[in-house]
């Protein structure tokens, strides 16, 4: 079977907005969610800024029972449940009954590291010989699949419920995993997405690598500068994005709103060969992933209107543009529009792909292309490949027919998904 797969629900918990309206308005207006973090300054971080969702304390009561909230100390689970349940409700889907699971619905919700604060809390209690105070939820909050377990229980899914983890590629890879399950007839609906914890114990390793910007601590909103000549490193972020994927038959039968269609995609690895490493992509593998995604989707290279790149505001941005150009065989003014949302939200690590997939689909639904902020000085090596007009700095009205979204992660792993406007 090769059934058509559509997107019927979206949810997001991002540094610059929680919920679709707040998030899309922030992207339209170029509003940054990157802020100074006093806790990082107190711990002597070089980079003392980050993108962290501002979740009101009373908002979690809408998503968790009092019992679930007892001892809950995992920001990633909070972000993921907010985004996942919002997407499910946005698709006008109800929770399964208390007595019967929904056998046709499943979840693939990824993460990189989960419950790090809960794990730290547990270490202190264990080292103090007070293991009895750990509580009954320490395991589920610190196991990687804790997020899919929480969502699976709340929604009542009886199909595959699992968690994937592929560094910064996690969210985009999860979309393709859910797509393949529905396209092959193994499920009717899949809630897909990813989340990432906040805090110094997540971001500290990157600060130690000295790949985060250190000169913008007093000017946080200007720090993340994708494709810019003055880019000084990526700004760490966190949050969650979620999409409800559904077979076209199921969506049509219940009259669901359809945001867009997933045409296909591809995942691969560069094997940490030929210039690739555990922290850097193999350019040939990136190009092959893009080309394979296009071939799998049954489209031509010339049909892509918009690219949402990985584009983290590092020295690798120029390489990524070169890889897109080589893979698509397009240059100058013939190149698609390309943007990066990391100027507004930072690099949300395992949550990056899912948050950016939500934003990519919103462009199709709303008929616009979001601008890339902090890119007024496009890197000259990039302008030698593509015309500067293909990198919009402000949001403008445009109806994309086909959007390519890619993510490239530590471990030399790649994913590219192709979204299209829905046509009967």
Which element (helix H / strand E) includes 6? strand 5-14
- 3-state class of 8 per DSSP? strand
**CATH no. of 7-253:** 3.40.47.10
Please tell us whether the domain made up of 263-420 is placed in CATH 3.40.47.10.
yes
Q: What is the mean pLDDT of residues 336-364?
A: 98
Question: CA-CA distance, 53 to 35, in Å (whole number)?
Answer: 10
Give the residue range(s) of CATH 3.40.47.10 domains in the chain.
7-253, 263-420
> With contact defined as beta carbons under 8 Å apart, do 404 and 295 qualify?
no
- The pLDDT tens digits for 177-191 are 999 999 999 999 999
- Residue 132, pLDDT > 90, answer no
Question: CA-CA distance, 142 to 242, in Å (whole number)?
Answer: 21
Report the mean per-residue pLDDT for the chain. 97
Assigned token pair, 171: 């969210």
| Residue 282 exposure: Cα atoms within 13 Å on the Cβ side | 19
Question: CA-CA distance, 340 to 348, in Å (whole number)?
Answer: 12
- Percentage helix, strand, coil for the chain under 3-state DSSP, each rounded to 5: 40, 20, 40
Least trusted range by pLDDT, from 34-48, 125-139, 154-168, 236-250: 125-139
Assigned token pair, 392: 């919009």
Assigned token pair, 232: 């000084």
> With contact defined as beta carbons under 8 Å apart, do 23 and 358 qualify?
yes
Please list, residue by residue across 112-150, b when 16 or more beta carbons sit within 10 angstroms of its beta carbon and e when fewer do: bbbbbbbbebbeebeeeeeeeeebebbebbbebbbbbbb
Query: Is the pTM of the predicted complex or chain greater than 0.75?
Result: yes
């Amino acid at each position: 079977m090769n059934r058509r797969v559509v997107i019927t629900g979206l949810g997001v918990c991002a540094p610059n907005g929680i919920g679709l309206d707040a998030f899309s308005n922030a992207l339209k207006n170029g509003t940054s969610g990157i802020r100074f973090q006093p806790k990082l300054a107190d711990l002597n971080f070089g980079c003392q800024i980050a993108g962290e969702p501002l979740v009101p304390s009373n908002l979690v009561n809408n998503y968790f029972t009092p019992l679930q909230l007892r001892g809950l100390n995992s920001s990633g689970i909070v972000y993921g449940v907010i985004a996942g349940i919002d997407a499910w409700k946005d698709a006008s889907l109800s929770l399964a009954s208390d007595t019967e699971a929904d056998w046709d619905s499943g979840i693939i919700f990824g993460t990189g590291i989960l419950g790090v604060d809960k794990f730290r809390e547990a270490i202190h209690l264990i080292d103090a010989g007070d293991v009895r105070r750990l509580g009954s939820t320490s395991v589920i909050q610190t196991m990687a699949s804790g997020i899919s377990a929480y969502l699976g229980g709340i929604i009542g899914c009886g199909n595959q419920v699992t968690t994937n983890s592929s560094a910064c590629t996690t969210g985009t890879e999860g979309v393709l995993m859910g797509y393949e399950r529905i396209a092959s007839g193994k499920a009717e609906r899949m809630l897909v997405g990813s989340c990432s914890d906040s805090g110094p114990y997540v971001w500290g390793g990157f600060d130690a690598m000295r790949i985060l910007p250190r000169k913008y601590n007093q000017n946080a909103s200007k720090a993340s500068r994708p494709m810019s000549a003055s880019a000084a490193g990526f700004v760490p972020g966190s949050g969650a994005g979620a999409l409800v994927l559904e077979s076209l038959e199921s969506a049509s039968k219940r009259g669901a709103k359809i945001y867009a269609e997933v045409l296909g995609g591809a995942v691969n690895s560069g094997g940490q060969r030929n210039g690739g490493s555990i922290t850097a992509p193999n350019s040939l593998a990136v190009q092959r992933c893009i080309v394979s995604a296009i071939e799998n989707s049954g489209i031509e290279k010339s049909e892509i209107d918009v690219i949402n790149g990985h584009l983290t505001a590092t020295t690798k941005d120029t390489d990524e543009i070169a890889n897109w150009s080589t893979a698509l065989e397009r240059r100058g003014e013939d190149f698609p529009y390309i943007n990066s949302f990391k100027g507004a939200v930072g690099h949300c690590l395992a949550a990056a792909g899912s948050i950016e997939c939500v934003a990519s689909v919103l462009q199709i639904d709303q008929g616009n292309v979001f601008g890339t902020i902090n890119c007024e000085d496009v890197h000259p090596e990039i302008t030698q490949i593509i015309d500067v007009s293909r990198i919009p700095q402000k949001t403008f009205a445009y109806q994309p027919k086909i959007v390519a979204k890619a993510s490239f992660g530590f471990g030399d792993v790649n994913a590219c998904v192709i979204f299209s406007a829905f046509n009967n």
